[in-house]
Amino acid sequence: MRVRILGTAAGGGVPQWNCACPGCAAARADPRLRRRHASIAVDDGTGRRYVVNATPDIGEQIEAYPELAPGPGRRETPLAGVILTDAELDHTLGLWRLREAAGLNVIATTTVHRALDGGPHLGQVLGPYAGITRTELPAGEPIVLGDGRLEVRAVPVSAKRPRYAAALDLGEDGWVAALRLTDRRDGTTLVYAPALAAWPPALDEALVGAGAVVLDGTFWDDEEPLRAGFSRKTATGMGHLPITGPDGTADRLAALPAARRLYTHLNNSNPLVLPCDDGHRELARRGIEIAQEGAVIEL
Ligand code: MLT
Ligand code: MN
Ligand code: ZN
């Protein structure tokens, strides 16, 4: 299995257009510190590729990597579809940027499909441009994509809904999933979970046999959003288990046998956006990496 990291930032990116925090200011001064919104691209084994989450940066993300470039036909693209972990705007706004598609396969839970139609009217707005095919991603049951080599299993990890969906009558299930991606030829598996509000037993089951785990690293600690002053909620209150502290995920991530253990979806308030931050050394000592844009994970 071959996975390309297309971006590593939480909503807003780094720098965020209206933010002068230390992380955003540093990224404005040094382009090497910029981070596009979190996303990955995975090969289905036939040369076709799925992106996981369609970020506001998707156009530039596709342009940045040769394996996503169009051709050889004038309107041929290796992009076979978009798999969604949730319906948040930072993971879905890019769908509208793909309006030139001849057809767009969107793979998501029923709840996410309904939220995108009920809130930002995806089908109504994008449908007339790029015919949308909706593929259902059932909770817990794997589906197979492409010619049968890429298996995707959605593991529900929380009922946190996007703000636009607060009043939609869609129940509590299917809002946020971790994805277990497996190459069925050799069993290699990567788990991608950029939004993790809880660590349910089903996630532990999904992590068995995973060679790489890419987890929600939005916030360093639970108080970070309060300290940074952009929210009155804690990290957990915002649907993101922090890296450190009593609810922190670092201990569990470090204990996993996976060869690669990484954090992604970093908020611009996270001190890890600064390369000099001590947190990098602390995590590296425990075998944990911070995902780098453009990196390829080969399993
Ligand atoms: C999140 O990850 O919690 C959401 O993307 C927040 C947001 O962008 O509104
Ligand atoms: Mn987000
Ligand atoms: Zn900032």
Domain range summary for the chain, segments of one domain joined by +: 2-298
Cα of 249 from ligand 2 centre, angstroms: 17
- Give the distance (Å) from ligand 1 centre to CA of residue 89: 7
- From residue 253, alpha-carbon distances to 193, 194, 203, 282, 286 in Å are 12, 13, 12, 13, 9
Cα 183–Cα 184–Cα 187 angle in degrees, nearest 5: 75
The CA 228 to ligand 3 mean position distance, Å, reads: 9
Query: pLDDT tens digits for 1-41?
Result: 999 999 999 999 999 999 999 999 999 999 999 999 999 99
d(CA 210, CA 193): 13
Ligand 1: residue of 19, 57, 90 to mutate (most ligand atoms within 8 A of CB) is 90
Q: Residue 55 C-alpha to ligand 2 middle, in angstroms? A: 10
140, 207, 216, 245, 279 from 275: Cα distances, Å: 37, 29, 18, 21, 9
Query: Ligand 1 atom closest to Cα of 11?
Result: 8
Atom of ligand 1 nearest to the CA of 163: 9
Neighbours of 33 (CB within 10 A): 17
Per-residue pLDDT of the chain (299 residues; tens, 9 = 90+): 999 999 999 999 999 999 999 999 999 999 999 999 999 999 998 899 999 999 999 999 999 999 999 999 999 999 999 999 999 999 999 999 999 999 999 999 999 999 999 999 999 999 999 999 999 999 999 999 988 899 999 999 999 999 999 999 999 999 999 999 999 999 999 999 999 999 999 999 999 999 999 999 999 999 999 999 999 999 999 999 999 999 999 999 999 999 999 999 999 999 999 999 999 999 999 999 999 999 999 99
- Compute the distance from residue 73 Cα to the ligand 2 centre, in Å: 35
Ligand 1 near 88 CB (within 6 A): yes
Q: Which residues surround ligand 3, an ion (CB under 5 A)?
A: 16, 19, 21, 24, 268
**What's residue 45's pLDDT?**
86
In the CATH hierarchy, which fold is given to the domain comprising 2-298? Metallo-beta-lactamase; Chain A (3.60.15)
pLDDT digits (tens, 9 = 90+) for 46-58: 899 999 999 999 9
How far apart are the C-alpha atoms of 158 and 195, rounded to whole Å? 9
Q: Is the CB of 89 under 6 A from ligand 1?
A: yes
Q: How many CB atoms lie within 10 A of CB 159?
A: 15
**Rounded distance between C-alpha atoms, residue 60 and residue 268, angstroms:** 20
